[in-house]
Structure 1
Amino acid sequence: MAMEVDLLLQEAKESIEAAQNYRSELQQRLHGLNQARKQVRGSSGQARETLRRHFAELQAAAARLLAERLGVLMAEVDAIEADSIKPLDDCQSLIEHGVGQADELLREGEAALRTSLDEKEDKLGSFTKKALQIQLDSLPEVPALVDVPCVSAQLDDSLLSLFRDGVSRHGAVSSHPPVQIEELQERPGGILVRWCKVDEDFAAAEFRLQYRRSGSGGSQYEEAFKGRDSEFLVLHLDPHTDYLFRVCARGEGRTEWSPWSIPQTGYTTLAPHEWRSGTEGYILSSRKNIALRNDSAHSRCPVLYSSGPTYYCGQTLTFRIMAAGPVDRRDSVGVSIDGKTEEESLQRDGAVCISTNGAVFVNGKEMTNQLPAVTVGSAITFDMEVVTLFPVSNNNLSEGGNFKLRVTIGSGNREVVFDWMVEQPTDCFFFGCSFVHSGWKVLVF
């Protein structure tokens, strides 16, 4: 009986725990549902406000442009009217002056006819002389109506038709932005951001990527990338810090950018790669991720290593050549099991590297396969993964070890893949570079 009670008690506890987990899961789903509802409501409100503001600005601008055009046309009418009326006013003044002279002459002639015989001859003579001076047979010319401007306004409905067509196609509303962030991969001191189109009908010509710290009090987004690529490595990020990323696109033949994608949160737990401070012949940037070979007064080729074994299998290590100096066959960039300062080149045992002429070295031995020569702008990538462990035996040791690593070195559009046998199991490595002459500058990430 006691066993049955204990069993029932255990089942009850398990049911209670299951119910608690079930309730917790449902509450999380409710929270997710509320977040989704909030996004729909919030984005819809923002879209409405954007539409209202945009069309209000269009209305104001259209009214202003129409008023300005009306003012120009009215000014043209005023100018034509003023230029055309002036000669008519001048002609009217001339005719009115002639009518006044004629009235005065008529009065004098009638008065001369009424005078006595003693004065008639003098009066009539004076009248006749004045009449000759006025030139009663000379009349001013009045322009015909066909020669006088008849001002009119030529208007048609083409503008309204074009405006109607333009307005009917202006603006669009979509339920999702045409591009979204697809993946966020942590990298040392940075995050690799990949995005993709979600609207197959949208022909993207260019993308923009922006980021900012999460929860930073509304700080502005920073521009990280603009171009045609669909991925970008954002560097100089603080580890264990949340960052928000968003992307938008511009269509072929368009000037406006699409709406921003839904911001995605990403972070990196990996500290940024750093070169080792204090190595003779090299100057480091403030972040210690850029090294400049600055002293070639001696023939020794010092190797500059990382500050520690910070490169791990499964990551991608990249060297970008920012400046180049004179070439030497001992020049190399690569990875090594240790950071021996007494070595003069990475072309040694316990290291894999690529020289500036494109030759690949494994444990100091040159491979048959070769990559393109290293120049300014070259990006050399190293990818490593653990393949298998072999049991220790004399045969294994004669081959160089019992721990196999698959190494992929890429440069330009080519890559070399090979297996690297090492004696001790390890998944973390130093990275390094060695240059004989000054002028070489290398960024590592």
Structure 2
Amino acid sequence: MSVEVDLLLAEAKESIEAAQNYRSELQQRLNGLNQARKQVRGSSGQAREALRRHFHELQAAASRLLSDRLASLLGEVDAIEADSVKPLDECQSLIEHGVGQADTLLREGEAALRCGLGEKEDQLGIFTKKALHIQLDSLPEVPALVDVPCVSAQLDDSLLGLLRERVTRHGSVSSHPPVQIEELQERPGSMLVRWCKVDEDFAAADYRLQFRRSGSGGSLYEDAYIGRDSEFLVLHLDPHTEQLFRVCARGEGRTEWSPWSIPQAGYTTLAPHEWRPSSDGYILSSRRNIALRNDSTHTRCPVLYSNAPTYFCGQTLTFKISAAGQMDKRDSLGVCVDSGKDSLQRDQAVCISTNGAVFVNGKEMTNQLPSISLGSAVTFDMEVVNLFPLSNSNSNPGDGGGSFKLRVTIGSGSREVVCDWLVDQAVDCLYFGCSFVHSGWKVLVF
């Protein structure tokens, strides 16, 4: 009987645990639904507000434009009227003055005729002289109606049709942004952001990527990239600090940007690559990810190593040349198991020289890459192939007796070289380094 009870108790506990897990899963789904509903309602409210604000601004601007145009046209009418009426007013004043003189002359002539015989001769003489002085045969010229302005307004009724046609196509509403962030891949002190189109009918000419620190309140997004690529490596990020990323696109032949994608949060746990400080012959940037070869008074070729072994297999290590000096066959960019030695063209290291030669454990490979110059980007990718037992204690890692094989892909320009690198022990992380004989070389590592 006790066995049956124990079984029932065990089944009951399992059922209770399953019910708790089931309830927890359902609660998570409810939370997901609430977030989805919040996104729909929140974005809809923002879209409504954006539409109202935009069209209110358009209405106000259009009203101002129409009022300004009306005032300008009325001003033109006023100017034409004033310029045209002025000579007519002057002519009217001249005619009215002549009419006044004629009225006065008529009254004086009639008075002279009514004078007695003793005064009539004198009065008639005075009247006759005055009439000759007025020049009664000289009349001012009045312009014909065809010679004076007839003001009219020419209004094109097609404007309303054009406005209606443009307004009906102005603006759009979409349920999803045309591009979304597809992947956030952490890199040392940086984040590789990839995005893709979700609206295949949208012809994108450019993409725009922005980021900001998560939870930074009023902090504004910063532009990280504008261009045609669909991925970008955002540098100079502090480890374990969450960032928000968003992307939008601009259509072919358009000036406005599409709506932003849904922000995606991500952070890197990997410390940024840094050059070792206080190294002779090199000046470092404030973040210690850029090194400038500034002193070549000595003929030796000093190696600048990383501050720590921060390169892991499976990552991509990139050297970007932002300034170039004179090339030398001893110049090197590469990775190594240890640091402190005075060359990268040695055992336990793989590197490329500025002339394009590739060295694995100090031996030059047959395949060669293009020469390194200003703007060159050299990449190292590594993967673990397998482990080998040591054949004997005297075996040399450089001649195939090593116990750990890495497959190295070195890229420069549009070409790649793949080689197997044998090291004498399993390694979790590697140093990187550079060495230049001549000054003027500047290299960024990420």
Q: One fold, TM greater than 0.5? A: yes
In 2, Cα distance between equivalents of 1:96 and 1:307 = 105
Counterpart of 1:345, as a letter, is S
Q: Tell me if structure 2 keeps the 8 A contact 1:247–1:260.
A: yes
1:357 aligned residue (345, 355, 358)? 355
Aligned counterparts, 1:39-438, within 5 A: 39-339=39-339, 341=340, 343-394=341-392, 399-438=400-439
Following superposition, the deviation at residue 393 of structure 1 comes to 2.6
> 1:298 Cα shift?
2.1
Is 129-138 or 227-236 further displaced after alignment?
129-138
TM-score, normalised with respect to structure 1: 0.96
Three-state SS of the structure 2 residue aligned to 1:98 is helix
Amino acid paired to 2:240: H
Give me the whole-angstrom Cα distance separating, in 1, the residues matched to 2:376 and 2:431: 21
Distance 1:113 1:244, change over 3 A: same
Tell me, what secondary structure is at the counterpart of 1:428? coil
Give, as a single letter, the amino acid of the residue that structure 2 aligns with 1:348: R
Secondary structure class of the residue paired with 1:312: coil
Contact 2:390 2:401 (C-alpha < 8 Å) held by counterparts: no
Deviations along 1:353-372, whole A, 9 cap, x unmatched?
Answer: 00000011111111111111
Query: Within 2, Cα distance between the matches of 1:228 and 1:321?
Result: 23
- On the 8 A contact 1:322/1:441 being kept in 2, the answer is yes
Q: Which moved more, 1:369-378 or 1:318-327?
A: 318-327
1:128 is paired with a residue of what secondary structure? helix
Distance 1:361 1:305 in 2: 17
Aligned equivalents of 1:367, 1:287: Cα separation in 2: 34
Of residues 121-130 and 352-361 in structure 1, the stretch that sits farther from structure 2 once superposed is 121-130
Q: Which amino acid aligns with 2:389?
A: P
SS at match of 2:186: strand
Q: Which amino acid aligns with 1:270?
A: L
Query: Aligned to 1:129, what secondary structure does the other structure show?
Result: helix
Gaps of 5+ in 1: none
Question: Identity rate of aligned residues, in percent?
Answer: 81
**Deviation at residue 140 of structure 1 after TM alignment:** 1.7
Match of 1:369, SS?
strand
What's the TM-score, normalizing by structure 2? 0.96
Worse-matched range after superposition: 178-187 or 296-305: 296-305
Q: Distance in 1 between matches of 2:68 and 2:223?
A: 39
Deviations 1:138-177 (A, max 9, x none): 2222222122211111112122122111211111111111
Partner of 2:440: 439
Letter in 1 for 2:285: S
Shift of 1:103: 1.4
Q: Displacement, 1:422?
A: 2.1
Tell me, yes or no, if the aligned pair for 1:386 and 1:427 is still in contact at 8 Å: no
Q: In structure 2, how many angstroms separate the alpha carbons of the residues matched to 1:73 and 1:80?
A: 11
Q: Distance in 2 between matches of 1:83 and 1:130?
A: 36
| Runs of 4+ that moved beyond 3 A | 394-398
| SS across alignment from 2:430 | strand
- How far off is 1:396 after superposition? 9.4
Q: Which amino acid aligns with 1:444?
A: V
Q: Deviations over 1:160-195 (max 9, x none)?
A: 122111211111111111111111000001110111
Helix, strand or coil for the counterpart of 2:229?
A: coil
Contact 2:379–2:411 (CA<8 Å) still a contact in 1?
A: yes
- State the one-letter code of the partner of 1:423: D
